[in-house]
Structure 1
Amino acid sequence: MASYKHILVGLDLSKESSQVLQKAADISGACGADLSLAHVIEPLTFAYGGDIPMDLSEVQEQLQNQAKDQLRKSADRLGIPAERQHVVLGQPATEIHRLAEEQEVDLIVIGSHGRHGLALLLGSTANGVLHGASCDVLAVRVHVNEQ
């Protein structure tokens, strides 16, 4: 296994994120690498294309605060300091690439749902991160816990 020094974990903060985080923590422990966490929120204006005639900044701020709180809880369980917890606005793959370069990351760990067919053709965050990263990328297959 390569000896990584700094691992960036891209989390979507879903229930399955814990699987991705655990795999990254295992690798970090084996290598003695620093672990950083990132969650990227797409601006609401991206989703709605500016078609909604209202100010979405308050809703966007609430989403960011909730994400920061969730990310902090995950980070606290692993002892990851605040300076290595990142909640950013933007396009997920682009922002993860930017953070990886800024933080001098040598491994990005992300979750993959293993989609097929049309979803695969349209692309996913995992696919976007893989293509264009300047370091190694590990896509962790997540399993949805169906009840």
Structure 2
Amino acid sequence: MGGTYKDVLVAIDGSEESRCVLSRAAAIVDGSGGRLHLLHVIEPLALAYGADVPMDVTDLQASLMQQARENIDLYAGEFRVPPTQVHVELGSIEKTIQDKADMLGADLIVIGSHTRTGLALLLGSTARGVVPGAHCDVLAVKIPRS
């Protein structure tokens, strides 16, 4: 491997930290001709809250996907990532990141890493969860505590 990454998959969760993670990834491909791919994974509500969700969540899930797409498109615009390299997927976070990386032939996965828990599921534990199953390098960008 010649020291540069060709296809970099950046997993972001749409929070403020996403910009920090993205700018690190952009710096890696800058000038090397590499491609950035953005991925926002939404966990199915049934997965997050147990199988017995008391209502039909199809519409809610669709609107979450739509919101995520609009959010990630803003970052894509800011970092000049073409729409064909922007992905919003439904699934378990770690597995979806690994599968998407394999599908794209990514040679680097970039994710954020901090110690906050709660809604920012993508960051923190995900960094630990992605590494074992990944078939390429993984960069966990340390998010400074605000």
Q: TM-score, normalised by structure 2?
A: 0.89
Is 2:11 aligned against 1:10? yes
Structure 1's unaligned 5+ residue stretches are 116-122
The residue that corresponds to 1:67 in the other structure is: 68
Partners of 1:16 and 1:144 within 8 A in 2: no
Q: Deviations over 1:68-89 (max 9, x none)?
A: 0000110011211111001000
Q: Which runs of 4+ in 1 moved over 6 A?
A: none
Structure 2's unaligned 5+ residue stretches are 117-123
The percentage of counterpart residues that share the same residue type is 46
The residue that corresponds to 2:125 in the other structure is: 124
3-state SS in 2 of match to 1:40: strand
Structure 1 position 114, deviation (Å): 4.1
Q: Deviations over 1:20-70 (max 9, x none)?
A: 000000001043210000010000011221323210111101100000000
3-state SS in 1 of match to 2:138: strand
RMSD, aligned α-carbons: 1.7
Number of equivalences: 139
Residues in 1 aligned to 2:4 and 2:44: alpha-carbon distance in whole angstroms: 36
The residue that corresponds to 1:108 in the other structure is: 109
Residues in 1 aligned to 2:53 and 2:37: alpha-carbon distance in whole angstroms: 35
Q: TM-score, normalised by structure 1?
A: 0.89
Residues in 1 aligned to 2:29 and 2:115: alpha-carbon distance in whole angstroms: 24
Q: Output the amino acid matched with 2:25.
A: A
Is 2:56 aligned against 1:52? no
Residues in 2 aligned to 1:34 and 1:52: alpha-carbon distance in whole angstroms: 39
